[in-house]
Amino acid sequence: MNHGFGTNSEFVELVKLGPKALPFLLQALDDKTPTKLVINNGVSFFGDMRFEHELAGNRANTNEQEILNWPFERESLRPDHRETLTNYTVTIGDACFVAIGQIVGRPYQAVRYQPTAMIVINTPTHDDLLAKQVRAIWQSMNSAQHLLDSLLLDYAGGKNSDRRGFGDGAAMRLLYYFPQQTTNLIVQRLRSLGESKSDETSDFIRSLTFCQEPSIRDELRRIFESTTNVDMLCATVPAMDGSRRRSARLRLERFLDQVPKQEEGYYDDGNKLLLALGKNFGEDAKPAFQRYLKEATVQRVITMTEVLERTQGIWSVELLAPYLSDTRKVGRWTYPSFPKEGEKQRQVRVCDAAASTIAFNFRRLPFELKGDHKDLDAQIAVMRQKISAGDFK
């Protein structure tokens, strides 16, 4: 859900400081000063909000694992740690906990959602052991060297307890905090990449595109210009800047024009290429979006609805309004007539999907998948009237 929260610029600046900020963040872990962020348990009839003790680390880092394995007695926590919460005010210590995780590449989450309808709070200002463990792991007389050693171990292939790798995040942080020491190491890795279709390879490439080191940029551009793999092509687009932008856009468009009229799913190559074009080339990409919808199959229209909820949503009225009268069925997509358990399911039509995306991007054009098709048609009729009158911006 979009709750309207923005990014805090001061928090970002602390993370940018990296090892320079670590000693001060660790010192403030138990600072109980409240912030303005209040988390409410908005589900009254079911769901839960509670404190937990969650701390992940690299299984290959023996020092970290030894600290993470310190005996933990749930009964030793403060009494309110066992209670169901109705609200929680995030503290300065919690913000420091999250910032430390951002710097060192660990999923330190002071507040997180747990399906279904649960909110989990991990707070060093309530959980003394949590604060002690984080300090024991990351305090050092030489914060920069300690962080560099940890990131190199992560980059070498370390995984956390649920087997997710730390390598991509480590590569990004190594280049950001320690470019002089690690650029050549990562250049060699880029040169070794073949035509891999692995999502992991694309994620690795994507994690490096922020870097302005000339040798890194050169390797990313080489991959973009030589690869025939759509995932790798899209991952390296941000490196094609300056005078290379036009040729990069044209190459993406050629790939998009060659996508089959009917792909197997809504998140295949067409989706990836449209996203890359929309996110990197703005208005210049619109003609390619328009060509993609020429004599569009159901799959292409639905792919476009998915894309326009992630990039260039401002185009959704122009591109999708023509499909507000399209009653073709969308595969096996269904919705309940009314949100009740066991309610009859009705099939989603192209016009419903188009209206949903338009409503997602334009608040003055509301639409809800509720009722039978006649009810949806009535909502769409109002939407079309407002669009015709220009009453939606």
36 domain residue, yes or no:
yes
> How far is it, in rounded angstroms, from Cα 323 to Cα 299?
13
Backbone angles phi, psi at 387, to 5 degrees: -65, -45
Tokens encoding 347: 């099939």
Mark whether 391 and 273 lie in a shared domain: no
The set of residues, in sequence order, having a beta carbon less than 8 Å from that of 311 and lying 6+ positions away, is 274, 275, 278, 279
Same domain, 295 and 328: no
pLDDT at residue 161, rounded to an integer: 47
What is the average pLDDT across 310-339?
93
Q: By percentage, how much of the chain surpasses pLDDT 90?
A: 76
Residue type present at position 171: A
> Are β-strands 87-91 and 118-121 bridged in parallel, bridged antiparallel, or unpaired?
unpaired
pLDDT, position 340:
59
Q: Identify the helix (H) or strand (E) that includes residue 251.
A: helix 245-257
CB 171 within 8 A of CB 155: yes
Spatial separation of the C-alpha atoms in residues 171 and 177, rounded to whole Å: 10
Q: Assign 33 to helix, strand or coil.
A: coil
Residues 267 and 332 in one domain: no
pLDDT at 162: 47
Domain boundary among 262, 285, 311: 311
Residue 183 one-letter amino acid = T
Separation CA 299–CA 49 (nearest Å): 40
Q: Are residues 304 and 343 in the same domain?
A: no
The pLDDT score that the predictor gives to residue 42 is: 63
Of 282, 311, 340, the residue at which a domain comes to its end is 311
Top pLDDT among 362 and 4 is at 362
62 and 113, same domain (yes or no): yes
Query: Stretch 198-208: mean pLDDT, rounded?
Result: 84
Q: What is the pLDDT of residues 24-48, one digit of tens each?
A: 999 999 999 999 999 987 655 567 8
The residue segments making up the domain with residue 390 are 319-393
Inside any domain, residue 361: yes
**Considering the domain boundaries, does residue 169 fall inside one?**
no
What's the structural domain count of the chain?
A: 3
- Residue ending a domain, among 249, 284, 311, is 311
Query: 286 and 373: one domain?
Result: no
Residues 6+ apart with CB under 8 A from 182: 152, 174, 175
Q: Tell me: pLDDT of 85 over 90.
A: no
Question: What are 305-318's pLDDT values in tens digits?
Answer: 999 999 999 999 99
Our measurement of the distance from residue 181's CA atom to the centroid of its chain's CA atoms, rounded to an integer in Å, reads 29
Q: pLDDT tens-digit profile of 241-250?
A: 999 999 999 9
What DSSP line would sit under 76-133, residue for residue? GS-GGGGSPPSEEEEEHHHHHHHHHHHHHT----SEEEETTTEEEE--TTT-HHHHHH
Judgement on whether residues 13 and 134 belong to the same structural domain of the protein:
yes
Residue 341 above 60 pLDDT? no
pLDDT value of position 332: 87
Q: Does residue 145 lie within any of the structural domains? A: no
The answer to whether residues 286 and 356 belong to one domain is: no
pTM: 0.82
63 is written with which tokens?
């020092």
The pLDDT tens digits for 135-183 are 999 999 999 999 999 999 999 875 554 445 788 999 999 999 999 999 9
Same domain for 102 and 134? yes
Mark whether 306 and 361 lie in a shared domain.
no
Distance separating alpha carbons of residues 2 and 110, to the nearest angstrom: 19
Residue found by looking up tokens 């138990």 in the block: 30
Q: What is the largest CA-CA distance in the chain?
A: 69
**For 220-270, what is each residue's pLDDT tens digit?**
999 999 999 999 999 999 999 999 999 999 999 999 999 999 999 999 999
Q: Is 168 contained in some domain? A: no
Same domain, 325 and 302: no
pLDDT mean over 323-334: 95
Residues 369-384: tens digit of each pLDDT: 999 999 999 999 999 9
Residue 195 binned pLDDT confidence (cut-offs 50, 70, 90): low
Average confidence (pLDDT) over 352-364: 96
